[in-house]
Amino acid sequence: MITFDARNIISYHEFNSLIDNKKIFFSTEKNNLFEHYGILKPIPFDRNIDSYQKFRNEYRSLVQNILKEVIFYYRKHLPKELLIFEFGSFVKSTERIFSDIDFTICFDEYKTEKYECVEEIIDYTLAEIFGFSIDHVHGKFQHYPEIPKFNSLTEKDNHYRLIFDEVNFVDYKCGPETFIENLTNIKNVRDYQSMITGYEEKYKNKINIDSLYSIEILENTMTHDFFFDLTKLEEKYDICEGYQFKLNDSKLNEKFSISDIKRILKHDGIIEFYTFIAKLRKIVHLSNSYSMNIDIFWNNESLKNLFGIEYLTRLKESFISFIFYWNRIELSLHSRGIALSTRCYKKFSIDEMNHILNSDWGKTTNIETIISSKNKLTQMIQEGLAKL
């Protein structure tokens, strides 16, 4: 078991009070949004793109505001000079309701046990408020123990404990019980230079392209200019050069796993869309800063001139429809205790999945419609690439 001593950071009572108050607030506000926009009503998608986009904007703001509040609640326990930024789908406006929470706390000071504990508390607090597994809150490096070097599945101690006093503690699990390991002594720090080196690896090897260009700096009291350093990497490496888009229509076998659905929606869908945006970013001036989000894409004058308003309107409709149906299947699975994850190998037949979706949303929502929404989006990307 990996333990963290929180005794000099926060009391057990204060810790629980913060979680309870924020959790009630989030649940109330979320339910109000769901009710106002009819998110859980079993009705066909009425193609009211503007209404659904308003829901997404308000829900995104709710999540991001709570994220910031929790981080800065514990800010005083972290180094004076640091960099805190959010990244991922909530920043680039491609999020779903159950998207991961992605942020980084970076500092050059030695990472003491106290600092590690603060980061762990922040992650656990956010997971409890949003009702996620802590694995869906990406605010730190995992605390892997040292193990021998070999290439195989290795047992991992994924049991964690936060200790508040002699009698009060919180136990939980984080990460899978096995993992593939071929390194020794994993570096458990996020200093600035190692972080920049990590970004350079992404640029150089063209990996995790979807995680680039989506950064919101929450605080920077360091001397480092993060966006300037990222821009230099962008100038050095063209991440889109030679990228092979995966734009073929997807379909499921009669029997499939949940991981198959996630792969189609994420790796064959949203990543291709965001890579398309990244490619356009190199061709057309989309933003005055390194970071960007999808919302600035739809009304960009240069893109209107390049593609025409009619194409951008259809692309936006296909994107919002895709997110709408992704949310629906994720809501259905989540309500049954099933995670829409690449690590979920639970098997379904097409009829079994459609029975679930039909019972929740009516006959107009089925697995074929959901996969079709992904195919329509990638068809629109293909049409856009042909125009370049």
- pLDDT beyond 80 at 240: no
- DSSP letters, 224-275, are --HHHHHHHHHHH--TTTT-----SPP---SEEEHHHHHIIIIIIIIHHHHH
Q: Residue 139 — pLDDT band, cuts 50, 70, 90?
A: low
Rounded to whole angstroms, how far apart are CA atoms 208 and 360?
Answer: 34
The pLDDT of residue 179: 40
What pLDDT does 138 receive?
Answer: 63
Residue predicted with more confidence, 215 or 285 = 215
Q: What is the mean pLDDT of residues 205-220?
A: 84
pLDDT at residue number 149? 38
Cα Rg for the chain, rounded, in angstroms? 22
Residue 38 CA to residue 52 CA, distance in Å, equals 10
pLDDT digits (tens, 9 = 90+) for 144-166: 333 333 344 444 567 889 999 99
The more confidently predicted of residues 386 and 139 is 386
User: How would residue 175 be classed by pLDDT, with cut points 50, 70 and 90?
Assistant: low
pLDDT tens profile 295-331: 888 988 999 999 999 999 999 999 999 999 999 999 9
For the question of whether the overall pTM of this predicted structure is more than 0.85, the answer is yes
